[in-house]
Structure 1
Amino acid sequence: MLIALWILNGLLALAFVAAGIGKVTRPREALIAQGMGYVEDFSTPSVKAIGAIEIVGAVGLILPLATGIAPILTPLAAVGLTITMIGAVVVHVRRKEKATVSIVLGLLSLVSAVLGFIVVV
């Protein structure tokens, strides 16, 4: 199960780092032009904060388990990302946008949390 957790967390970390860096580094207008219409509902600092949360969550999926220092933080990071994706689904559904990516990432984060609690505890 540890191997499955590493594979899943590696893929999730890549996805969340990519999404987070995009939100943190690009201006709000560029994100809107790229097709992220939901950004219109949030201020620039809020969009940057969401990006930062995604990056910190991605680091939390890998670093504690890799170092062996407080490995319980790995499944807790997955829980935090699951909650973040639940919020994303709510926003997309409210705006009548496709929420498929958010649903998939949320479910994978939930699986990571469950696996993490099984492996760590």
Structure 2
Amino acid sequence: MNTALWIAAALLAVVALTGGVSKTFVSKAKLAATPGGEWTGERGVGFVKTLGVLELLAAVGLILPAALGIAPVLVPVTAACWVLLMVGAMATHLRHGEAKFAALNAAYLAVAVFVAWGRS
């Protein structure tokens, strides 16, 4: 069970790191031109960058507390926050008619629920 939780947390951390880096360091115009990123054209730069920073923090919060043994309670808290983020992402993608991206977010949500449950 512990191995499965580590794999799940690592998967989510990679997803969060990838999304966080792109939202934080890639221009809004370039993001808006990519599939699944059209929603960024409707939001302010500050909102998109803030979301990116939150995703970077999620990547850290899913791995480091458990790996270092310092405040490991932050892992399920981070996973629960990821669930909320995925609910928002699903709603955004569904509003834009992007069902395949919403389904991907639902899968990430399920993995986050597993991590939150398993680490709490």
TM-score tier, shorter chain, comes to over 0.9
Residue 11 of structure 2: aligned partner? 11
Q: How many angstroms apart in 2 are the aligned matches of 1:82 and 1:72?
A: 16
- Give 3-state SS (helix, strand or coil) of 1:69's partner: coil
Structure 1 Cα separation of the partners of residues 111 and 39 of structure 2: 22
Q: Quick one: percent identity of the two aligned structures?
A: 33
In structure 1, the residue corresponding to 2:17 is in which secondary structure?
Answer: helix
Cα offsets for 1:81-120 (capped at 9, x unmatched) = 1100101111111222221221111111111111111xxx
Aligned counterpart, 1:109: 112
Aligned to 1:62: 63
SS in 2 for 1:102: helix
Partner amino acid, structure 2, of 1:4: A
Equivalent position amino acid for 2:89 in 1: A
1:94 match: 95
2:33 and 2:74 map into 1 onto residues whose CA distance is: 36
Letter in 1 for 2:33: A
> What do residues 56-85 of structure 1 show as CA deviations (whole Å, max 9, x unaligned)?
011100010011111000010000111001
For residues 65 and 111 of structure 2, the distance between their equivalents in structure 1, rounded to whole angstroms, comes to: 19
The equivalent of 1:75 in structure 2 is: 76
Q: Which ranges of structure 1 fall in alignment gaps of 5 or more residues?
A: none
The one-letter code sitting in structure 1 at the alignment partner of 2:111 is L
TM-score, normalised by the number of residues in structure 1: 0.92
Instruction: Identify unmatched segments of 5+ residues in structure 2.
Output: none
Q: Which residue is 1:38 aligned to?
A: 39
TM-score (norm 2): 0.92
Please report the RMSD computed on the Cα atoms of aligned residues, expressed in angstroms. 1.0
Deviations 1:21-77 (A, max 9, x none): 011000100001122111122111100111111110111000100111110000100
Other-structure match for 2:28? 28
Distance in 2, Cα, partners of 1:56 & 1:62: 10
Residue identity opposite 2:113 in structure 1: L
